[in-house]
Each structure stands twice: as structure tokens, then as C-alpha cells.
Structure 1
Amino acid sequence: MAFETTHSKEVGKWRTMWLDELGSLRRLSEQTLIAYDHDLEQLFQFLVGHFGEPVQTKHLRDMTPTDWRAFLAHKRSNGAKNRSIARSLSALKSFYKFLAKEGWATPDSLNAIRAPKKDQSLPKALTAIDAKRLIEDGDILDEEPWIAARDIAVMALCYGGGLRIAEALSLTPSDIEGKDGLRITGKGGKVRMVPMIKAIHDAIEDYCSKCPYSPGPKDALFRGARGGPLRARLVQLKMQKLRAAFGLPASATPHALRHSFATHLLGAGGDLRAIQELLGHASLSTTQIYTKVDSAYLMEAYLKAHPRS
């Protein structure tokens, strides 16, 4: 991609080096790198209008708290919510830490800006009936049997194991520990073990028996139609088709299956810390949001069923 219209070649060099470091040393996912790069490009686009010329190193070095507030106000006027602004600040602080390490700028003015509180939006889980229906009847579409089996196995991993879609698609044959466990590499390269229930094992076995490709021990288990690694977008498109077929809401996504996993475990009396480990959350506070989801489901059921509600 060309960025000459928004910044100088020197700034572009720092941009590329920063992203390379995030990918190689911190091992951030491709999706996170794309999001961080987008946040940085938004800053550059704003500064082109703010300073009236492509961004130079001096502009980055001379930024003041007033400049930062103007940028955030610009984002908010374009519809950015607290969560988006907080992530943007996190990305930009990371970029400035890199610049400081290279001796080109300091993050002092940016550190003076406090991130807004994130909007408290509860994860949207599916009902247990709908989640099971997606997996058990996910082969209703007119497609090749091995592709249907592949997508069912991926959805089974998201719902039956609580995996992120990226974690499911990065699974390799060597990550399968017999019939009982899965070795999952999550965010930041953190490895965790996830039990493999019979439904997951059977779905993977069915896919492997039908798949026309034979990935190596360290290759991605799930393959696309032409034999390359399966892309998340194809799974998302499959979910869109199944939503239409089953009359499910737009919130029924691959990630919603992970939310459903945690919500249904908690509702059945699962231990919060055990669920934290299964999900690969670094902080218990991240997992605690599911206690609110479970309470919300109970209240919804009460209001629908109680004769005096």
C-alpha cells in the first residue's frame, strides 16, 4: 500500500518497522495489526488537514495535548464510540513507545490523554437450541460434503471448546492430543489446553475422513476449496447463510458461538475461573462480564414467562 499522500517516506519507514515489530516480537494477530495500522492511518489523515501538509517526523515530535484532543474530537464527530477511541489510543501509544525507543519522539503529550471508559455492551449469546442447531444441521446448504463437514467442525470448536475463530483456524493436526484435548495457541502466543468433548472429536474426524487434502502435522488443519488454509471470512459468510436459513439474528456470528459457550457453562453452574482458563482470558475481569450476560438471560426469560410481568 502507498501512504505517500499522508506522510513522508521517513514516517512510512517508522510505520513499517513498528508493525513488523508488533508482528514478530509481540506476535499480534493479523487482524490486530490491520486495526492498529488503520488507527495510525486515521491519525495521519487528520494531521494532513490539521497541519496542511503530509506528516513529517517533526509533526509527530511536536504534538501537544491540544492536538490529541482535536484528533479524538474529530473521531467522535465521525461516529467513533468509546471502545473504538480507547483502542485507537492504545495503538497510538504503542507507536509512540516505538518512536521513543528509536529516539525520534516521546509519548509524553499522548500519555496526558486519558482513555474514555469503554461502553459496557454485553456479548450476544445464542440460545443452546440455536447453537446446537447450527452445528447439527449446518449441512443443509447445497455444497460439497467435505466443505459442510469442515464448517461444522469449525463451529463445533467455537461452541464446544470456546475457541476464537482465529484459534480454530490455526489448529494443526499436531495440536490434537489424542481424543481428549486440544493445544490452543491464543493471543500473544499463550498456549492453553482445552478438553475435546465427543461432539468436537466426531466433527473433526468426519471432516478429516472427507477432506481431499492431507495437511502436514504443522499445517493448518482446515483447508479452503483450493487447498490453502481456510480464511475466517469464509466461515463468516457461511454463518450469514445459516442465519438466513434458520431465521437467526445478525448477532449470530462465529464469535457469538464462543460467547454462547461461556454463557451456557456459567448458567449450568460452571466455575468462573475454570471458564477463564478455557477461554484463555488473561484477566478474570474479562470473564466476569458473562455473569452479567447470564443475569440478563434470566431476566429476559422471567419477563417473557411470568404472568404478571
Structure 2
Amino acid sequence: MSLALSPALRDALEAWLAEERAIDGASEATIRAYATDLRGFLAFLADYDGEPAAPARLARIELRDLRAWMSHERGRGLGPRSLARALSAVKGFFRWFGKREGFEPTAVLSVRSPKFTRKLPRPLAEDAARAVIADLGDTPEVPWIAARDAAVATLLYGSGLRISEALGLRGRDTPLPDMLRIVGKGGKERLVPVLPVAREAVAAYLDLCPFDLVPDGPLFRGARGRALNPRMVTRAMEGARARLGLPASATPHALRHSFATHLLAAGGDLRTIQELLGHASLSTTQAYTAVDTARLLDVYDAAHPKA
């Protein structure tokens, strides 16, 4: 793949990725995705031209080049969502590179992103979310592990945390305060409320946990005392949903979706929910309005069946 780029262009790509990481706060996963998508585009361009891609070539890129690349990507089975993500990375790089090199990347920026249907979040009903947490806490085999799983689930549902954020809590974060400072994706910080029930759940877990709590050590421990693996939380949720007869969509992340959807249904402000979830864009949070509308339509259809 490196043979598809001239040294100057390879250096430019690394400089752009470094800037995205440092200035825009993009996560490492996002940086890897950008790099993969952009290198794929530049490799296609080199193959298309029969020579390594170089800065001068990018300055004279044409709309037909972009169309040929998108056709190639569709031909190898790339779906609309993935192609839209790749095009976004290409546009971001060209916007930066054009400014640095003094040319207008109009051909790239004018390309329309493929249309695709965004998947709606799939939250649990309120009674189902409460039942999951109760079920996890009632698992009798190892009481401290049951208390741990219930505490994690309570934080996901009660504070809208991502599982990585909950498992990233350290000993120094306890006792949990009323407002918890969370470092989320891209290093972005936000304050989230911690309900009394969540503080009580974490306290109950700590009372039973057989391992010493240290300030810099993980709050949630696995069976051998190391940091809890998120797969174990997923496995616990799989057991709960099997016992409760819930669908496969009842995952740990669904508890975060449930937090947002139930807060919105109770009259929560969309902008506030965005801040609590740590979404960079309001459009991401707006997906929950579609979920709420769909639920209202289901209620309407049930109350007013068609003749």
C-alpha cells in the first residue's frame, strides 16, 4: 500500500492524521478508520493512473476520478454507509490539503454522499430496563459479581455511560459524587448525574468485592482481580435477557439508549441529552426523537386499530 504514495504525500497524510488527533480530538479508532479509508482511496488513484499518487496529482483531481473510485468501491461490495464514511474522510483530507497546497478541491467537496437509512437506537422499555438490573443483582452463584454487574448496569442506564466509560472508572472516583466527570470519545469531558440508586449499587458492590480498592486501580474487577473485561458485562446481559425473554437487542449499550429515550419521553431537552451523552453532533442525538415518535405511533395503532 505504501508504494501507492509518494513520500511527500505519505508525509502529508501522517500530518493530517496527527492534526485530527491533536486538534480535533479524534479517537484512535476514528484515526485508524480515516487512515484506512484515505489510503484505500489513494491506492485506487495510483492504480487508476498507473503511478504512485503525488501532491500535484491531487491538485488536479476531477469529478470523474471520484466517480470512478466510488463505482469501484460499490463493485467490491462496500455498502452506502461505509462508502459515506470513506468519502467523509477523503473530503476532510482534501479540505486540509487544498488549504495547505493552495488549491480549491471543488471536485471532491461537490460529490454527494450516498444515501442510506440510519439504524434507529433500540432501547428497552422502562420496566424491562429495571428488570434487567434486578435480575443481574439476583444471580446467586457469586454475590459480589452479581452486585458488580448490577452496579455497572445501573450506571449505564442511570447515567447514560458507555460501557468503556463505566469500566474506566478508578478507585479514586469513589464514593461516587452527585456529578461525575467523564472523559469520553476523543478525550472530550462532560459531567453526568449520578442518581442515589447508582451510588448505592456501587457501594453495595464495594462492600462485597474481595479485592482492595486503590486510587489508580480499576473500580470494577474481574473474577481474578484484574480490570473487568467488557465481554463479561455482555455475557451477563445475555444471561439476563435469556431469563427474562428479552430480544437480542437487549445489550449493555441498549441501556444507554434507554437512558436517552426515557429521558426524552419524560420531557428532557434534546440539547441537554446531547451533553449528557457526550455526542459531538446534535444530529446523533436526534435519532432518539425518531425512536420516541415510532413508539407513539405504535401506541396509536394499538389504541386505534384499522378496520
Q: Same fold (TM over 0.5)?
A: yes
Quickly say closer, same or farther: Cα 1:14–1:149, change in 2 above 3 A: farther
Instruction: Measure the CA separation in 2 of the matches of 1:6 and 1:226.
Output: 47
Where does residue 152 of structure 1 map in the other structure? 150
Quickly say closer, same or farther: Cα 1:158–1:111, change in 2 above 3 A: same
Instruction: Measure the CA separation in 2 of the matches of 1:147 and 1:124.
Output: 27
Quickly say closer, same or farther: Cα 1:147–1:270, change in 2 above 3 A: same
RMSD in angstroms over aligned alpha carbons?
3.6
Flag the structure with larger Rg.
2
Structure 1 window deviating more from structure 2 (120-129 vs 41-50): it is 41-50
Quickly say closer, same or farther: Cα 1:305–1:5, change in 2 above 3 A: farther
Choose the corresponding residue for 1:69, options 67, 70, 74: 67
Where does residue 215 of structure 2 map in the other structure? 216
Where does residue 119 of structure 1 map in the other structure? 117
SS at match of 1:114: coil
Quickly say closer, same or farther: Cα 1:173–1:268, change in 2 above 3 A: same
Choose the corresponding residue for 1:262, options 257, 260, 263: 260
Where does residue 134 of structure 1 map in the other structure? 132
Aligned residues: 306
Where does residue 85 of structure 2 map in the other structure? 87
Contact 2:5–2:54 (CA<8 Å) still a contact in 1?
yes
Contact 1:27–1:189 (CA<8 Å) still a contact in 2?
yes
Structure 1 residue identity aligned to 2:211: P
Instruction: Measure the CA separation in 1 of the matches of 2:3 and 2:195.
Output: 53
Quickly say closer, same or farther: Cα 1:34–1:57, change in 2 above 3 A: same
Where does residue 275 of structure 2 map in the other structure? 277
- Aligned-residue identity in percent: 46
Contact 1:175–1:183 (CA<8 Å) still a contact in 2?
no
Q: Deviations over 1:223-251 (max 9, x none)?
A: 55666655555544554554455443332
Contact 1:177–1:183 (CA<8 Å) still a contact in 2?
no
Contact 2:261–2:291 (CA<8 Å) still a contact in 1?
yes
Query: What runs of 5+ residues in structure 1 fail to find an aligned partner?
Result: none
SS at match of 1:193: strand
Instruction: Measure the CA separation in 2 of the matches of 1:105 and 1:223.
Output: 54
Instruction: Measure the CA separation in 2 of the matches of 1:203 and 1:103.
Output: 56
Where does residue 287 of structure 1 map in the other structure? 285
Q: Which TM-score applies when normalising by structure 2?
A: 0.78
Where does residue 18 of structure 1 map in the other structure? 16
Contact 2:156–2:163 (CA<8 Å) still a contact in 1?
yes
Structure 1 residue identity aligned to 2:200: D
Quickly say closer, same or farther: Cα 1:302–1:63, change in 2 above 3 A: same
Contact 2:27–2:187 (CA<8 Å) still a contact in 1?
no
How far did residue 47 of structure 1 move? 3.3
Structure 1 residue identity aligned to 2:155: L
- Trace 1:31-42 onto structure 2 (pairs within 5 A): 31-42=29-40
SS at match of 1:138: helix
Contact 1:40–1:91 (CA<8 Å) still a contact in 2?
yes
Q: Deviations over 1:39-59 (max 9, x none)?
A: 224324533542345545555
SS at match of 2:111: coil
Quickly say closer, same or farther: Cα 1:15–1:138, change in 2 above 3 A: farther
Query: What runs of 5+ residues in structure 2 fail to find an aligned partner?
Result: none
Quickly say closer, same or farther: Cα 1:231–1:43, change in 2 above 3 A: farther
Instruction: Measure the CA separation in 1 of the matches of 2:290 and 2:284.
Output: 11
Instruction: Measure the CA separation in 2 of the matches of 1:146 and 1:52.
Output: 63
Structure 2 residue identity aligned to 1:214: L
Quickly say closer, same or farther: Cα 1:18–1:273, change in 2 above 3 A: closer
